[in-house]
Structure 1
Amino acid sequence: MNDEVWLVVPLYNEAPVIGDVVRSARAVFPNVVCVDDGSADDSVAQAARAGAVVVRHPVNLGQGAALQTGFEYALSDPGMRWVVTFDADGQHQVSDVLEMLEKARTENLDVVFGSRFLDDRTQAGFAKRLVLRTAVAYTNLTTHTRLTDAHNGLRVMSRDVVSRLQITQNRMAHASELVQQIGAMDVRYGESPTHILYTDYSRAKGQSLWNAVNILVELILR
């Protein structure tokens, strides 16, 4: 059944890790599309060598635009039933994807959002946790959803939901826009615990407290 799943991976300058990320994912899910968002390093070659389909943006457009491109590519496969949004920097775990898909299938859900706050596996600092929870509270107030982690990049979505998404916010605010659009669809959704693995590499790539603050600022401005 995993051949009906496409992993959509926004990719921007992740050459040191993207090969391992793709190989690990493809050991379980054969269909992986990396949307290269104007990388200046060897990311494209590494992703392709690991077996991913690579779609390229000639210039950097932002993660929201990369996801939308990946959605459109996945929709071109008539056998696709599920899309998983998956980070390129090694933070997400394939085992969590399997649990989320099982939850979606057994509970007849259209969307399963990953949440780092449903168990204690994710070691986020107090300040970052506070900022992200503030962003969640704001999102819950302004959308038709009730989530514990609105800015977790690991999500499982049905074909029907993906076909109706139109992401226009290209930067960090795209996550809130995605939640807002799903809330407006009146579809069945749930959450599943995920382990976000913060490493020295992922922190250097933008998983800092400052990045969390940027999420909150963009959310309010939007």
Structure 2
Amino acid sequence: MVSEKRLSGLRPISRECNLAKITKIHEKREIMKLLIVIPAFNEERVIADTVRGVKSVISKESQILVVDDGSNDFTGELAKKAGAIVLRHPINRGLGGALGTGLYWAKVKDFDLCVTFDADGQHDPSDLKKVLQPLYYNEADVVIGTRTKTGWKEIPRDRKIILAVSNWLTWWLFGIKTSDSLSGFRAFNRRGIEKIQLRTDRMEVSNEFFSEIKRHRLRLAEVPIRVIYTNYSRSKGQRNSNAFSVGVKLVLRLFR
């Protein structure tokens, strides 16, 4: 049975609705608190546009949190000016550290829903409704926005190889089959927010999510999302050498 709660900034979803159209709601019913977490490191070129894009599809009751991961440019200032709350790390801790800070904020501030969203313009804000839909219908605790079902041709060849290896490791280590273990577009309900505890600071956090999903027996769903690759977003990806290092660290976990 569908909860009477309403997603903050999103109207009640019907199976036939156009998921590309996100409308704001103003009803006298309990609203689910929604937080969008955007980890960012030296993203002054795009962060304001990213924040404004997200802001345009959510209501004023929702919040956007930019975790400025020790940037040495004006990322934090521009994000705040665009309308986001900004938390700043004094040093660069890495993607895992930034996501951990964001999820912790969602937990202590008592948000019902949390979505992680890339800062580099790779994600389409209109897909927010799509990733939140399984949570709204109580079909999942964690939702992954997968790029492989709609944007496989757009993914650079070297990243396809990295993704394939990461997906295989996720299955081997945790017994979870996923088509996009490295997606940064994820959504969590309150149970997911409370249960997932991130301990790694760097890129291996992408697979640590699945360790937590398995440990707490969280329900996982995937939905297709649009991927927007630009020369800028391609330049922000991790190097192959870094990806190899992450893979080694994951394998070593088996022998701890």
TM-score (norm 1): 0.91
> Percent same amino acid among aligned pairs?
35
* Bigger RCO (CA 8 Å, 6+ sep): 1
- Aligned residue number for residue 77 of structure 1: 109
Q: Distance in 2 between matches of 1:148 and 1:74?
A: 26
Structure with the higher fraction of residues in helix conformation? 1
SS at match of 1:71: helix
1:126 is matched with which residue: 141, 157, 174?
157
2:230 is matched with which residue: 199, 205, 219?
199
1:19 is matched with which residue: 48, 54, 63?
48
Please report how far the alpha carbon of residue 145 of structure 1 lies from its aligned counterpart in structure 2 after TM superposition. 1.8
Please report how far the alpha carbon of residue 214 of structure 1 lies from its aligned counterpart in structure 2 after TM superposition. 4.9
SS at match of 1:172: coil
Number of equivalent positions:
221
TM-score (norm 2): 0.80
Please report how far the alpha carbon of residue 123 of structure 1 lies from its aligned counterpart in structure 2 after TM superposition. 0.4
- Aligned residue number for residue 16 of structure 2: none
Q: Is the 8 A contact 1:135 1:215 kept in 2?
A: no
- Aligned residue number for residue 66 of structure 1: 98
1:94-136 deviation digits (Å, cap 9, x = unpaired): 1222111113222521111111112246501333212211210
- Aligned residue number for residue 174 of structure 2: 143
Q: Distance in 2 between matches of 1:135 and 1:181?
A: 16
- Aligned residue number for residue 129 of structure 2: 98
1:62-120 deviation digits (Å, cap 9, x = unpaired): 11111111112122333x21110111111111122211111322252111111111224
SS at match of 2:39: strand
- Aligned residue number for residue 6 of structure 1: 35
Q: Is the 8 A contact 2:41 2:68 kept in 1?
A: yes
Ranges in structure 2 where 5+ consecutive residues have no aligned partner:
1-6, 10-32
Q: Distance in 2 between matches of 1:160 and 1:171?
A: 24
Bigger mean CA offset, 47-56 vs 198-207: 198-207
Structure whose CA Rg is larger: 2
2:219 is matched with which residue: 188, 204, 213?
188
- Aligned residue number for residue 56 of structure 1: 88
Q: Distance in 1 between matches of 2:234 and 2:242?
A: 10
Q: Is the 8 A contact 1:122 1:196 kept in 2?
A: no
SS at match of 2:154: coil
Q: Distance in 2 between matches of 1:131 and 1:210?
A: 10
- Aligned residue number for residue 88 of structure 1: 119
Q: Distance in 1 between matches of 2:192 and 2:85?
A: 22
